[in-house]
Amino acid sequence: MAARVVMKQLVIAIDGYSSCGKSTTAKAVASALHYAYVDTGAMYRAVTLYLLEHQIAFDDLPRVEQALHTLQISFRRNRRTGRNEVFLDGVNREDDIRQMVISNSVSEVSVIPMVRHAMVAQQQRMGRRRGVVMDGRDIGTTVFPDAEVKVFMTADVVVRAQRRQIELADNGEQVALDDIIENLRKRDHLDSTRAESPLRRAPDAVLLDTTHLVIDEQVDFVLERVSAALFAPHV
């Protein structure tokens, strides 16, 4: 019997440090492939926003657990901008979760085991049908260790801080570069040393250093890996 080529629905895991271009790259890859896109970092930011707004201390675990049973996180595509935006309890909070006050606290929230368990379970439900691009910290190691394509992104911390400063300025928030560098280093440490699903490169993940790359080059890099995995001969 002649071999035939069958298109597979893949899970594409893009992990790495903050402000390396993960979300922008993942969105573009998802768009090119007509895949769903899930920004898992936005989910942790949404939980952080909820806890802060409801004045729930991060170490008040009974109230944190109650909040996890109460809050609702979803993504909706903005037809005007073409981007997926995060909704918290039915309200668009995309801009709110990108504020520096959330960046300063999100790593503390994401180390809470019950938070990670709840978010990972939701992410796995989202990707159950495959045909999805997810970016985050632990997609290739914890959420979808069987992902067909795994990319781990990194970049020089100063370059990352400069990118983050531009993003904040676009949202009307002016933050000193040194403060952003300090925030990124703190988050890197917390994310890499937490006991629950630490940030680390999966053994089978391809390293992508974006320090000197523009977004189109990052997207092409990922799509090249997808091309190698997308079609498989079956006898």
The percent helix, strand, coil of the chain (3-state, each to 5) is 50, 20, 30
Instruction: Please give the distance of CA 36 from its chain centroid, rounded to a whole number.
Output: 13
Q: Widest CA span of the chain, in angstroms?
A: 65
Known binder of ligand: residue 19? Answer: yes
Is 21 annotated in a binding site? The answer is yes
User: 176 to each of 45, 161, 196, how far by Cα in Å?
Assistant: 21, 10, 31
Nearest to 75 by CA among 105, 46, 53: 46
141 annotated to a ligand binding site: no
16 is in an annotated binding site: yes
Residue 22 labeled ligand binder: yes
Amino acid, single-letter form, for residue 52: L
User: Which residues in 117-131 are b (16+ Cβ under 10 Å) and which e?
Assistant: ebbbebbeebbeebe
Summary count for the chain: helices (H), strands (E) = 9, 10
Integer Cα distance of 73 and 90 in angstroms: 8
Cβ atoms of residues 29 and 35 within 8 Å: yes
Residue set of the binding site = 16-24
Residue set of the binding site for ATP = 16-24
